[in-house]
Amino acid sequence: MMVLVKAMKNPKSALCKTSVMASSDIFNAFGDKFFKPTISDAFDHLLLLKASQDKRFVCKEADKALNALMGSLTPLTLLQKLRSYVSHTKVRAKAAISISNCVFKMVRVRKMKEYGFITLVQMGADLLNDRLPEATEAARSVLISIYNGFVENEEHKQEAGQSFCQTNLSPIHA
């Protein structure tokens, strides 16, 4: 694992791409059983960086590896990891897309309450003000998923959603 992390940091694009592809295979084969938290954190950060860089062929493979990572970890675990990247300028857009996918999975399995609606809404509101269109679109998707999950059992949906946002967000974000 340490060799793969070192290879991902290598400036040679071909070696980097090969290590990203290998990490994708490892995620698919072993899931979350294989990684220690410190190694997994290095992978998360490096994959987000590689998915955000200029070399298109490396980005494509890094996106595939991120999807494999998302498939191998539970949405709650992945959201906890990705939360720290919301304010990271270089990888914010890719983190937002991954967060959006996690929240969408959480809606289907009704796990949003476990993570917390307030935390999810604040994260979505922070991402909504991003300059990058990918991050903004992902933030919209996150907020729509949260809204649908939150007001699912409410009788007056719009009022409940507005009240929740006004209570838990700053006035400008609400």
pTM to 2 decimals?
A: 0.79
Question: Which domains, from first to last, does the chain contain?
Answer: 1-73 (1.25.10.10), 91-174 (no CATH)
Q: Using an 8 Å Cβ cutoff, are 101 and 51 in contact?
A: no
Tens-digit pLDDT profile for residues 61-102: 888 888 888 887 778 888 888 888 887 878 888 888 888 888
Q: Which amino acid makes up residue 81?
A: K
Over the stretch 26-42, which tens digit does the pLDDT of each residue have? 888 877 676 555 556 66
Closest CA to 78 of 39, 50, 106: 106
* CA distance linking residue 142 with residue 136, whole number of Å: 10
CA–CA separation, 148 vs 10, rounded Å? 43
